[in-house]
Structure 1
Amino acid sequence: MLDSATDVEDPTEKDIVPSTPQPPSRPGRRRRAGYVGGLFLLLVLLLLGAVVVLIAQGSIAIPIGEVIRILTGQKAGSEISRTIVMDARLPKVVAGLLAGSALAVGGVQMQTLFRNPLADPFVLGVSSGAILGASIVILGTGGVGWLAGLGVVSQLGVTGAAVAGAAGVLLIALGIARRVGDPVVVLVVGVMLGYLAGAAVDMLIYYTDPDRLQALTTFTRGSVRNVTWNELWVIALTCGVVLLLSVFLAQPLNALLLGERYAGSLGVNVRRVHFLSLASVAVLSGVTTAYCGAIGFVGLAAPHLARGLLRTADHRLVLPASALIGGVIVLIAEYIAGGNGLTTTTLPLNSVTAFVGAPVILWVLLSGRARREGR
């Protein structure tokens, strides 16, 4: 999005173009392919393991073997165990997986579009805009719980409002990015937009019936525990379509890493890529926020972890790897936050994901400064 150099550079961007015109040797390509394949296999196994463990643990522990039998369609040891797994725990686990993947893919696209390694839906205020839009609908309805008592039409209203709020903040940040060109200024503006949206939510809370506030409190802190099957199909359908769209944007996003002019010279329709990427980020952020609340730092941490593990910024690899890592982060965070059955007290997801995202921000800042001083 910005052709000027960033103050904090992504050390992996240069990996898209080989540093030497000599192609890698065939043994080198085989080793590289083996490493990438092994890494993806490890991520998939880690994700499946997190799913099984999170479903097994809770106020009523279920043996892992029993969970696997139920998930694979085999006969369960008891009907109670099947009900707990399929109706109570599986929806929240799938919702957490989809939310983490969606936020991670959104973070990848935002970091490329803004040419800023610290961009993600939470940091730039996009999630706050989604919260504002959803809060207006939630606090304005007759229900007293978080999406409780709402029909499908009302649920889509909350989702639509969240997407509209996310899109509004994203468009403002994008306009400032095009005008200013300084990624640090864009980052500060995004944080300020987040504060403004948060202040608007606080004003809504101040003038709202106190009986409706408990739902909004849980909503703003992030949680997947309240997602049901009726709500999950909206998340799965929307996120599935948009995540599939991101696969087709991988190659154009690779070209944008080298600048808009270069991408245009390769025949990339830059405006179309911008529109599709921004629309997908708004939809992913809005939908996940509407049903899972604000989950911070996943969209920031997962892309950097993916690039670091893959040692490349090629979106054809980074996008799926980020989706897997984002899902793992959210599931592990949910386990730590209270899904382990070891305590009756549950923490907000944001309180746990911050422990992952904050060190990544510090690492990006410090490594960028070290590279500049070493020049």
Structure 2
Amino acid sequence: MKRASILLPFILFISLSEALSMEIRDTVWTAAKDRLVISYETRRDNGRISLRFLNIQKKLGRENSREYRKLDEISVLFFDRTGNYPDITFSNMVPEAFMVPAVMEYRKSDEGYFFLRDNPELVFTDTDRNDSFVLSIPLYLAHYEGRGRYVLFARADDLKIKIAKESVPHADPGNQYAAANVTQASIVAETGNEATTEALACIQTISMLLEAQQSLPFSDGLQYEIIKLRSMQDRTTDPEVSARIRETLAASEIRKEELRTAQSDAALRAQKEAEAQARIAEEKAREEQEARQAAMKQQAKEEKARNTKLLLGAIGFGILCLVGNQVFQHYRNIRNQKNMMEMQQSLTRQAANEVKRRTNSYARNQTRKVVNMGKDSIREKVGGKKVKKRNISI
């Protein structure tokens, strides 16, 4: 009995440590159907909560895969503070830091950001060990542009991390795992069998691990304890302990079925959500296609109207040029006619002047001739001499 009382606290301590540390794999999506599969581990011990990211797998959707073809240049990260970051810049989005629940204390990092590829670990201080809570972490996808510059091109759904409470559950009529823990103390007190003590410790460990288990498959520690408990079933002679073993194994099967149903429901919800997102993306793509077609039609219509205006303008300009040419020819004909009339008038004046000159010349010649003839006649009569005819200018 003394040996059992010493061994049982040690087994409970190991079981409690295993129950409060588990590896979880979760999947989150972005609006563009980028998928992120994240593995992380949570540990809660003596008021200290640690969250360590183990692995990240990413697959871009159709839209982002066309723009970012090199997957090794894509990083997944989150932030614990906002503001300026040393030796690195983020653009295109204003990052949002995760919120720390009121029951936790957290010291912000100097960098302010964490890349999941570096397997970061967050450490919190628990102020209420009897409470469970959910930590929501916004995740971002970034493309490295060089020289310490990252472009945030997508934000994923918040990663929901559930932190289970640290304390061992109390007896509850509706909680079969807690009932097992309450009745074990009396069973241990009534028996001195070492095999019985080991079986009861295994039952308590399985009960605690079943309560902490949140997804399938079962953890390696829980599967090991279940196999170990099954091997003890034939070696246990106490009927009450055998009944507790059967109840615990049945509870593990029930818990497995509950988790399988929950995962099926979660997968169905994720599928429906993915289908809804696909429909939304399809509708958005169709709307964008319709908008592009409407823009192309509007552009073709505007181009046609512009070409029509240019054609009408060219026709109007041709008509104006033709009318202008006709007007110019009209004024040129008028000017030519005027010049011809002036030339005719000039020729008429010249002819009139020539006739007048010749008339005056003829009159002068006749006058001189008559005068000369009179002078000669007078001389002949006076002097009786014949004188030589000569012209007298008048």
Higher gyration radius (CA): 2
Is TM (by shorter chain) over 0.5? no
Q: Classify the TM-score, shorter chain.
A: under 0.3
TM-score (norm 1): 0.23
TM-score (norm 2): 0.22
Q: Greater share of helix residues, 1 or 2?
A: 1
